[in-house]
Homo-oligomer: A and B are copies of this chain.
Amino acid sequence: MTANPVTANIVRPYGDTTGDGRIQVSFTLPVPYGTPADKARAEGAAMQLAGKMGLEPAMVVHAKGMGPDYTFFIVYGRVSHLVDLSQVTVTEREFPLLSPAEVNLRIRAGLGRKLVVVGACIGTDAHTVGIDAILNVKGHSGEKGLEYYREIRVVNLGSQVAVPDLVARSAAEGADAVLVSQVVTQREAHITNAQEMSAAFRAAAPESGPRNWPLLVVGGPRFDPSMAAGLGVDKIFGKGTTPGEVASYLAYALAPDSGAAADADQEAGASA
């Protein structure tokens, strides 16, 4: 991740006039909204929260009791926070976007054999549409999936694959890269599952020597692409990923351009 040098630039939220700072917020508080006194207290509580978020002035435009114990609020107001665009850090794509032909060429040149990809939804997640969109010929957003690439061999294990099965199967297939999808996020399931998966691959690898497990890639609509290290994986793809991006990344990470300096990522390829 590199800080993208943007012209230092301070902006505020915009309602209908430059600098007016207007925003909308909605939330529920566990407070009753029955008697007039309840209502006054509930609205006061909402105003207090709005104030802590930096809304000043704030206006509770809607309050509705939901059952005896909860109240839903809609608040409009002005925040005084400034957004400093120069402080926005933008993750830049570290690899070039390649066409399928270029990817194939690069794999042939850099790897000298087909690149093997094993894909799965792990844990109890059965949302295969996302990983299928990346792997199946049909693809996504008009781009064909990895199966379409002549130099990539795809093994799609489908849904609800147990991590030990994934590790075993990856070894058996000689996987260069393992692509894992996680869509369910309740109770941070996607995080724990990804961590369990990367730990299992590490555990299965010999204790010493160079890295000896496949490139680990996870994806899903609610991942933050900057969390890779925390999950112990090599790369994260978020919502709206296209197959071409994934193929380009695989080529970059596993089939180094002849002449290009090897980097940590590329070593992952060495294991296969």
A44 at the interface (CB under 8 A from B): yes
Chain B residues with CB below 8 A from A87, complex form: 48
Contact-residue bracket for chain A: 35 or more
Query: Contacting A37 at CB < 8 Å: which of B12, B25, B89, B90?
Result: B90
CB-based contact B6/A41 at 8 Å: yes
A95 at the interface (CB under 8 A from B): no
CB-based contact B54/A81 at 8 Å: no
Instruction: State the CA gap A125–B122 with chains docked (Å).
Output: 63
CB-based contact B28/A13 at 8 Å: yes
CB-based contact A85/B54 at 8 Å: no
Copy number in the complex reads 2
A70 at the interface (CB under 8 A from B): yes
With contact pairs A52-B81, A84-B48 given, residues A28 and B41 touching in the complex (Cβ less than 8 Å): no
Residue-by-residue, is A1-33 near B (CB-CB < 8 Å gives 1, otherwise 0)? 000101000011111001000111111111100
- A residues 187-217 in Cβ contact with B at 8 Å: none
With contact pairs A48-B84, A52-B81 given, residues A14 and B41 touching in the complex (Cβ less than 8 Å): no
How far apart are A198's CB and chain B's nearest CB, in angstroms? 20
Instruction: State the CA gap A24–B24 with chains docked (Å).
Output: 8
Chain B residues with CB below 8 A from A224, complex form: 57
Instruction: State the CA gap A18–B13 with chains docked (Å).
Output: 31
Interface of A (DSSP majority class): mixed
Instruction: State the CA gap A14–B70 with chains docked (Å).
Output: 9
Residue-by-residue, is A44-82 near B (CB-CB < 8 Å gives 1, otherwise 0)? 110011001110010100000000001000000001010
CB-based contact B11/A88 at 8 Å: no
- A residues 147-206 in Cβ contact with B at 8 Å: none
Instruction: State the CA gap A13–B11 with chains docked (Å).
Output: 28
How far apart are A245's CB and chain B's nearest CB, in angstroms? 10
Instruction: State the CA gap A22–B28 with chains docked (Å).
Output: 8
Q: Residues on A close to B: CB < 8 A?
A: 4, 6, 11-15, 18, 22-31, 37, 40-41, 44-45, 48-49, 52-54, 57, 59, 70, 79, 81, 83-85, 87-91, 222, 224
Chosen A-B contacts, 23 in total, with CB atoms closer than 8 Å, are A4-B37, A6-B41, A13-B28, A13-B29, A13-B49, A14-B28, A14-B70, A18-B30, A23-B25, A24-B26, A29-B83, A31-B85, A40-B91, A41-B88, A45-B83, A45-B88, A48-B87, A49-B81, A49-B83, A52-B79, A53-B54, A57-B224, A59-B222
List 6 A-B pairs, minimum CB-CB distance, nearest first. A44-B88, A23-B27, A52-B81, A13-B27, A40-B90, A53-B53
